[in-house]
Amino acid sequence: MTKLIVVEGPDGAGKSALVAKLARDLGREPFHTGGPPKNQQEKLERLARDRSFADKPMVMDRIYHISEQIYRPLDGPLDPGEADMLTREILELNPVVVYCRLISTAAMLELIDRGKKNHKPTEYMKKVIAHHRDIVHAYDRLMGELGYGYPYGLTIFGYDWMQDRYANLLESIEKCAA
């Protein structure tokens, strides 16, 4: 069975570039999810869309089930019941996850400043920049829980453009996502 490949990580970690590269090298369709949902209807549509991608040969940047748990606290608390539902569903969807992570906030800011990110200086991006360390810690915690904290954890590969070899990541994904 073909597994969906999801590239997750904080803003500025290189997700879009990695999605394009993986899609090309694995012969899969790339899919970019766009920014955060603007309302409840968009959230429901994203959940349904992400469920429909479960067995498709795609590489997507972000999946609502993970990113909502990371970014929602910037705007207010996430209901524990909703977090549990999102966690249960991502485990059922069982994608291969690549956790794309830069080692520092400074590296993220440098990428954004050099124009490698297409972010406009919105209020939302100001929040993301101000809370980058918290976002990275939340990703670290959630990736640990999803990969190791449950009896049937997800396959999660960590990847840092500045430290890891792309060829090793590609080989690992090819072994488990075909």
- In the prediction, which pLDDT does 164 show? 81
CATH topology of domain 5-177: Rossmann fold (3.40.50)
Instruction: Report whether 99 contacts 143 (CB < 8 A).
Output: yes
φ, ψ of residue 163 to 5 degrees: the values are -125, -30
CA distances from 167 to 88, 92, 159, 161, 173 (A): 31, 28, 11, 12, 10
CA distance 123 to 29: 32
Which residues face 156 on adjacent strands? Answer: 97
* Series of mean pLDDT values for 10-residue runs along the chain (178 residues): 88 88 96 85 92 91 93 88 91 92 71 55 78 90 82 84 87 86
At 67 the pLDDT is: 93
Cα–Cα distance for residue pair 83/65, rounded to 1 Å: 8
DSSP secondary structure letter of residue 73: G
Supply the pLDDT for residue 24: 96
Which residues neighbour 22 within 8 Å (Cβ) at sequence distance 6 or greater?
5, 7, 28, 30, 59, 98, 170, 173
What phi and psi, each to the nearest 5 degrees, are found at residue 27?
65, 40
The domain limits of the chain are 5-177
**pTM of the full structure:** 0.89
